[in-house]
Amino acid sequence: MRKPAAIVILGPGSLATARRIQQCYPDALIHGLVGRVEGDRQYLEFGTTLRELYQQDTPIIALCAAGIVIRTLAPLLLEKGLEPPVLAVAEDGSAVVPLLGGLGGVNVMAREIATALQVAPAITTSGELRFGTCLLNPPSGYSLGDLEQGKRFVSDLLAGEPVRVEGAAPWLDQAQLPQDAQARLAIRIDSAAGVPAPDELRIYPRNVVVAVSAGTPDVSTAVSDALHRAGLAVQSLACLLAADSDMARVELHHAALALGVPLRFAQASDDSEQWLDDALGQPASLRRMGGVIIAVSERPVDPLQLGRARGRLAVIGLGPGAAELMVPAVRAELDRANDVLGYETYVRMAGPLRADQVQHCTDNREEMQRARHAFELAAQGRSVVVVSSGDPGVFAMAAAVLEALHESTDADWHNVDLQILPGVSASLATAAQAGAPLGHDFCVMSLSDNLKPWSIIEKRLDLAAEADLALAFYNPISRSRPWQLGRALEIVARHRTVDTPVVLGRDIGRPGQTLRVTTLGQLAPDQVDMRTMVLIGSSTTCVFPRVEGGDWVYTPRWYGDKPGA
């Protein structure tokens, strides 16, 4: 399946055309250049962005001169065999030029976009123009045997030779091929193994499914051997199928990866042949070969319609807010998600999401309920993301999700592929802006007594302050907890002088962020709200002015006597 495309624009003049293209691809996001034009997503630098998209196999629709796209991607072109479709579209929508990705369906996209813009696409691929289809890019459900041989075959056809079609190729019915039953050249569509004849274009239907189980030694070799002995081409393998109870077995996932096919699961039954038949839902011939069962069906098998995938649940941290501070693994996880769960503010911060991604916004307090809901969705085979701000393991959803799993005896929940992806936590983002106030040992605390008694907070504060740790306070104050911060500062003041540096970071990494450096003596609870991070220095924390105004704050790496002094 192709990834959603990126529509890349450089200025406001392209926005109207970009929106028209987006109507044909609702999953595509418009990427706008920062400071010039507002897209669904912003980028800082055209060249880097385009090259990144290309390297991530994202189809690119760039609304600018073809030359700019060519020059930008040129350094990458020799490295790559398979590539995503890349098109240049004139800003005003008057021209659609497919540039790269002929085998990735760029001409199909060019036709679709051109139809939407009511212009003729600039298709230059001879085979495609002559036969109305790209023979080297069969539809999903089929795979091409050999590309180089295929290119020679198409040039022979273009030179005027007739061709026979052997086997079922319904998509070629519409093509304008010079067909002749006696032709030397043949397009052969079947799943038999073996080296193709020189005058043959082999296309393999993906109509073979192999049922595997976790007990089999070296699963991928067992599958290849079995296919070989059955006289079937590996190119015809549509997917591997395993029992639900084997869902978390890594060796099966490795085998599917090695064979380059999806791994699907279905509820096993005692009669394994009946099981396979039921899962396939279409007539198939079955053969048992060593540890596996091979099913060959008449038509190509769509793996997405067969059983279900192993569900995935990722608990991610968005970082403090700014897109540049989100780790790339989190960005990629959001892109693959079917469902996004979280407190509404954070789900919005994770966006823009595509139209096909389901948002489940809930109240911030319903953590355990949200965690259970996430497992229910993931256990159905969906890709689910639970969002937190900052890091998900710091006073956020990761621990709640793990607690929900720990309490559950549901095997489907335990089979989910659970991932925790880190983010830049508010204390670290705030510290970095101020300098390095957490440069030595420090203690992180939440001042909220919603989930723990206030007495334990007082005790920990007292001991941490006595131990001369720098302190980072999350959830320092709220409307329902008005007096706690004042009390906390009294406890800290027992162990620190009034001139101890304090950093207050509010909405760090978000619009309207403020950073303030003050002292323990001057700090008053009314300078702090629930969107503020409070960092209190240790006895060694220093402050000095910066040339551009404001201060640097840091806690030296050493403690006690300065080394080398």
Tell me if 425 contacts ligand SAH by CB under 6 A.
Answer: yes
The answer to whether the beta carbons of residues 137 and 203 sit under 8 Å apart is no
Residue 561, Cβ density class (10 Å: 0-12 exposed, 13-18 middle, ≥19 buried): exposed
Residue 236 or residue 427: which is nearer to ligand SAH going by CB? Answer: 427
What does DSSP assign to residue 194?
S
The answer to whether the beta carbons of residues 462 and 436 sit under 8 Å apart is no
| 210, β-bridge pairs | 240, 294
Of 26-34, 130-138, 261-269, 424-432, the window that binds ligand SAH (rule: CB under 6 A) is 424-432
Chain residue whose CB lies nearest ligand SAH? 390
For residue 420, CA distances in Å to 315, 334, 352 come to: 5, 13, 21
Residue 144 or residue 472: which is nearer to ligand SAH going by CB? Answer: 472
Determine the Cα–Cα distance for residues 556 and 166; give it in Å rounded to an integer: 77
**Smallest distance from the beta carbon of 324 to ligand SAH, in angstroms?**
14
Tell me if 530 contacts ligand SAH by CB under 6 A.
Answer: yes
Among 533, 536, 543, 553, binds ligand SAH (CB under 6 A): 533
| 187, β-bridge pairs | 165, 201
Tell me if 315 contacts ligand SAH by CB under 6 A.
Answer: no
What is the DSSP code string of 279-311? HH-S-EEEEEETTEEEEEESS---GGGSSBPPP
Among 36, 151, 288, 510, binds ligand SAH (CB under 6 A): 510
Of 159-167, 303-311, 326-334, 499-507, the window that binds ligand SAH (rule: CB under 6 A) is 499-507
**Smallest distance from the beta carbon of 319 to ligand SAH, in angstroms?**
8
Residues within window 256-285 making contact with ligand SAH, judged by CB under 6 A: none
Tell me how many degrees the CA angle 559-560-565 measures, rounded to the nearest 5.
Answer: 100
Tell me if 398 contacts ligand SAH by CB under 6 A.
Answer: no
Of 191-199, 282-290, 531-539, 551-559, the window that binds ligand SAH (rule: CB under 6 A) is 531-539
Residue 85 or residue 319: which is nearer to ligand SAH going by CB? Answer: 319
What is the x/- site pattern for ligand SAH, positions 445-474, by CB under 6 A? -----------------------------x
Dihedral sign, Cα of residue 386, residue 390, residue 396, residue 401: positive
Residue 46 or residue 474: which is nearer to ligand SAH going by CB? Answer: 474
Residue 224 or residue 446: which is nearer to ligand SAH going by CB? Answer: 446
Among 39, 127, 321, 422, binds ligand SAH (CB under 6 A): 321
- Count, residues near ligand SAH per rule CB under 6 A: 25
Q: Report cis status (omega within 30 of 0) of the bond before 352.
A: yes
Residue 87 or residue 385: which is nearer to ligand SAH going by CB? Answer: 385
The answer to whether the beta carbons of residues 392 and 370 sit under 8 Å apart is no
Nearest residue to 326 (alpha-carbon basis) of 358, 345, 349, 360: 349
Residue 99 or residue 314: which is nearer to ligand SAH going by CB? Answer: 314
Among 72, 137, 297, 389, binds ligand SAH (CB under 6 A): 389
Residue 84 or residue 509: which is nearer to ligand SAH going by CB? Answer: 509
Of 86-94, 149-157, 422-430, 433-441, the window that binds ligand SAH (rule: CB under 6 A) is 422-430
Residue 196 or residue 476: which is nearer to ligand SAH going by CB? Answer: 476
Determine the Cα–Cα distance for residues 124 and 269; give it in Å rounded to an integer: 53
Q: Which pairs from 136-140 meet CB under 8 Å and 24+ separation? A: 136/102, 136/103, 137/102, 137/103, 137/104, 137/105, 138/169, 138/171, 138/203, 139/171, 140/1, 140/302
Residue 275 or residue 395: which is nearer to ligand SAH going by CB? Answer: 395
**Smallest distance from the beta carbon of 563 to ligand SAH, in angstroms?**
33
Tell me if 390 contacts ligand SAH by CB under 6 A.
Answer: yes
Tell me if 475 contacts ligand SAH by CB under 6 A.
Answer: yes
Could you tell me the two tokens for 158? 């273009």
Among 46, 142, 153, 395, binds ligand SAH (CB under 6 A): 395
**Smallest distance from the beta carbon of 538 to ligand SAH, in angstroms?**
20
Tell me if 320 contacts ligand SAH by CB under 6 A.
Answer: yes
**Smallest distance from the beta carbon of 462 to ligand SAH, in angstroms?**
21
What is the x/- site pattern for ligand SAH, positions 11-50, by CB under 6 A? ----------------------------------------
Could you tell me the two tokens for 395? 């006073």
Determine the Cα–Cα distance for residues 408 and 413; give it in Å rounded to an integer: 8
Nearest residue to 503 (alpha-carbon basis) of 443, 444, 436: 436
**Smallest distance from the beta carbon of 511 to ligand SAH, in angstroms?**
11
Determine the Cα–Cα distance for residues 256 and 17; give it in Å rounded to an integer: 41
Among 314, 394, 535, 553, binds ligand SAH (CB under 6 A): 394
Among 508, 523, 543, 553, binds ligand SAH (CB under 6 A): 508
Among 509, 535, 538, 543, binds ligand SAH (CB under 6 A): 509
What is the DSSP code string of 86-114? EEEE-TTSS-EEEEE-GGGTHHHHHHHHH
Of 88-96, 302-310, 394-402, 547-555, the window that binds ligand SAH (rule: CB under 6 A) is 394-402
Q: Which secondary structure element, helix H or strand E, spans residue 229, and what is its range?
A: helix 219-229
The answer to whether the beta carbons of residues 491 and 462 sit under 8 Å apart is yes
Tell me if 236 contacts ligand SAH by CB under 6 A.
Answer: no
Residue 308, Cβ density class (10 Å: 0-12 exposed, 13-18 middle, ≥19 buried): middle
List phi, psi (to 5°) of 266.
-145, 155
Residue 530 or residue 542: which is nearer to ligand SAH going by CB? Answer: 530
Tell me if 541 contacts ligand SAH by CB under 6 A.
Answer: no
**Smallest distance from the beta carbon of 431 to ligand SAH, in angstroms?**
11
DSSP-based three-state secondary structure for 51: helix
Q: Interface residues with ligand SAH (CB under 6 A)?
A: 320-321, 388-391, 394-396, 425-426, 430, 474-476, 505-510, 530-533
